[in-house]
Amino acid sequence: MSKQLVVVIDSDAIIAQTNPDDALHRKTLEVSLKLISLNARILYPASTLAEASAHIQRVLKDSISAYNVAQTVRSPAFEIVEINQDTLSLALTYFSPTSSKKNTLFDCIVAAVAEEKQADAIFSFDNFYKKQGFKLASEL
């Protein structure tokens, strides 16, 4: 029996899923369907939900979708990963003051969770993760 695929989700995938006008919306839905067909275990870092919700509320001005993303933490259907001091310490190994302004501590936390959970991929379209040696979910 083969091991279940483990995928850590990043905020860009959540944002694209909730926003039909996002350039990656269609691609995100395709990847989501593929992950479902592969019976992948999707891990949601708590920080990713907060980041996605804040972006949807502030930038996209969609408080209802932001609220719905935040409510994900209450659903037993979603596997939420708590972020503790060990995770943050590991995240700092991916964080650099000379990296792109797009590669935030939030991204480093996703990478740290992926490392801790020995994830097979990260559901994101950010090349930062590929540069760190991770596979993207779109490559599965």
Host domain of residue 42? 6-139
Q: Specify if 15 maps to a domain.
A: yes
Q: Specify if 72 maps to a domain.
A: yes
Q: Specify if 49 maps to a domain.
A: yes
Q: Specify if 23 maps to a domain.
A: yes
Q: How far apart are CA 71 and CA 65, in angstroms?
A: 10
DSSP secondary structure code for residue 74 in this structure: G
Q: Specify if 103 maps to a domain.
A: yes
pLDDT per residue rounded down to tens, the chain (140 residues):
678 999 999 999 999 999 999 999 999 999 999 999 999 999 999 999 999 999 999 999 999 999 999 998 899 989 999 999 999 999 999 998 887 777 899 999 999 999 999 999 999 999 999 999 999 999 99
Q: Specify if 1 maps to a domain.
A: no
Vertex 53 angle, CA 89 and 131, to 5°: 45
Q: What does R_g of the chain's alpha carbons equal in angstroms?
A: 14
User: How many folded domains does the chain comprise?
Assistant: 1
Q: Specify if 34 maps to a domain.
A: yes
Look up the CATH number of the domain holding residue 10: 3.40.50.1010
Q: Specify if 65 maps to a domain.
A: yes
Q: How far apart are CA 34 and CA 106, in angstroms?
A: 25
Q: How far apart are CA 85 and CA 107, in angstroms?
A: 16
